[in-house]
Structure 1
């Protein structure tokens, strides 16, 4: 009886093991690897290693394959579900969006008020989910064809979505998961045009931002900087971000450098020059609303030169190179060597008699 029982137990064990292998064959490839020299010598056929995910090649290079979400999967928090879904979408070549979700008030989550909110369920969809907006131009007449003047939209009623909620144990369980796209065909190469992936790449690679800032300070335009980076990566097709993303980064750095505005940065420079040399002179004029109109400044060297070579002064206001379209005017004289010397500078808002009278009066 003991021998028969052992044989039956062995058969049940082998049968259950075969069922487990069949269930996991969709996601993993099981293979035997000896854990030690003894296992290899004894030929341990029943020893299995931890399943390993396959490596896939995407537009960003070789990455570990992310498994698609399925109904019944359990996660400790909703952030992990979103991260898993974003990784899967990145490898397949489509973007996702967090559409909606409900929250519940919880006592004790906020230290100050004693009452906070926790998310209870959430819906993530493909970025092409929903009906396209069919807005018409205001100039279109009612007798025109309905399709004319319609704004373009990437929404094509794609049904791909993932819905998850919290169970009684506080775990997040996937309730619905649809992964079949309709009306569009995502490919891994399209991951480079997804806005979230482009911004994430720039955040995770600060050396790209440093290179863009250095090129900007050296006088290169954003287009020239982007073309330089594209050459370094063997073409624009391998660029993980677009030129408008690089332009946004450069503009953000410029704004941070002059957080109070260009006018504030200019007056901070004047204040620094005044602290270095008390002979530095500057004056400005504002309108009734407090808007800056005209600025005049003269450094100490120009004031000393004016005392010696101020017999003949040339006033030129033909320069117009700044982004505010304000003419840059300068006072130029001639020294005893026949060389032109700068005697003063000004930014004027209007080339009229009132502005010139204010400039010459100061």
Structure 2
């Protein structure tokens, strides 16, 4: 088997990166991670096809890791009527690793690199198995979501940082799913605890800040009210309050995010009012008539 020739068609690996018979690893998962890294560079995905365990120790002693397009599946549905694609391609690319009891190490004892279909390293980033958000991306997504920046704008910023969407390693759909799963769909009790921590920090910063929480007989959160000097002034001027149902559309809103965003919106509105007041203090609009009512508005 000419391993170097087989990889030269892909043009993406160096000779020292090729899986070799006899390579040693401390754990079986390290061999799997190595093969996954290799597969990502070549342009295919893997799966663990078989694991054999010792009868006495019950620990794994050998493992077969195949290309994800191994096997052959025959569909009973005619091709024009199929809705789901068949990924099986009888691919023979795979590795076998076994545990060397004498040296207490895992080794490759069989490697097959030939695929029955063309692989593409450029397409690998679009495989579901390889889509992953970096820590930098997660932090930016969280900050932008709190600031009210739409997901598609955040995706464009992240894509521009790395030279295009194809270099990101995830799609806009993955970004939106992260917002839904990790930032918005949270445990209510954890949400309440985080919100209480936020209110306590606000109380330390601003003595005029006030909040009160209402719980039911089972100590479950029911309602909360919070206000500061700015809220009090707005109430005296407008005579209105804002209330919301914490159970409404829980997958999209809220509690901690709602508090942050609401405070952010009020801050922007207050800044806009100050700008308008400043502009009004500079001069007055001349009256078009001599009516007392118009001069009063002036």
TM-score for both structures, normalised by structure 2: 0.58
Other-structure match for 2:32? 82
Other-structure match for 1:119? 60
**CA–CA separation in structure 1 for the residues paired with 2:49 and 2:223:** 50
Structure 1 position 187 matched with structure 2 position 117: no
**CA–CA separation in structure 1 for the residues paired with 2:148 and 2:70:** 43
- After TM superposition, the structure 1 stretch with the greater mean CA deviation from structure 2, 314-323 or 263-272, is 314-323
Q: What's the secondary structure of 1:181's corresponding residue?
A: coil
**CA–CA separation in structure 2 for the residues paired with 1:188 and 1:304:** 61
**CA–CA separation in structure 2 for the residues paired with 1:221 and 1:305:** 28
Other-structure match for 2:270? none
Structure 1 stretches of 5 or more lacking a match? 1-22, 29-52, 107-115, 136-143, 329-338, 340-362
When the two structures are aligned, how many residues end up with a matched partner? 250
Query: Residues 279-325 of structure 1: CA distance to partner in whole angstroms, max 9, x if unpaired?
Result: 82524365x8766454333446656887xx59x94467699999349
Q: Which of residues 82, 89, 92 is equivalent to 2:42?
A: 92
**CA–CA separation in structure 1 for the residues paired with 2:75 and 2:214:** 51
Structure 2 stretches of 5 or more lacking a match? 260-272, 274-298
**CA–CA separation in structure 1 for the residues paired with 2:187 and 2:148:** 17
Structure 1 position 282 matched with structure 2 position 232: no
Q: What's the secondary structure of 2:122's corresponding residue?
A: helix
Contact 2:23 2:107 in 1 (8 A): yes
- After TM superposition, the structure 1 stretch with the greater mean CA deviation from structure 2, 288-297 or 216-225, is 288-297
Greater relative contact order structure (CA < 8 Å, 6+ sep) = 2
Quote the RMSD (CA, aligned, Å). 5.0
**CA–CA separation in structure 2 for the residues paired with 1:76 and 1:265:** 43
**CA–CA separation in structure 1 for the residues paired with 2:59 and 2:191:** 43
Question: For the pair shown, which has the larger CA radius of gyration, 1 or 2?
Answer: 1
Structure with the higher strand share, 1 or 2:
1
Other-structure match for 2:279? none
Other-structure match for 2:277? none
Q: Which of residues 52, 75, 78 is equivalent to 1:102?
A: 52
**CA–CA separation in structure 2 for the residues paired with 1:279 and 1:95:** 55
TM-score for both structures, normalised by structure 1: 0.50
Other-structure match for 1:174? 108
**CA–CA separation in structure 1 for the residues paired with 2:212 and 2:70:** 59
Structure 1 position 160 matched with structure 2 position 93: yes
Contact 2:72 2:89 in 1 (8 A): yes
Q: What's the secondary structure of 1:230's corresponding residue?
A: helix
Structure with the higher helix share, 1 or 2:
2
Other-structure match for 2:193? 264
Matching of residues 196-215 of structure 1 within 5 Å: 196-199=129-132, 202-203=133-134, 206-215=135-144
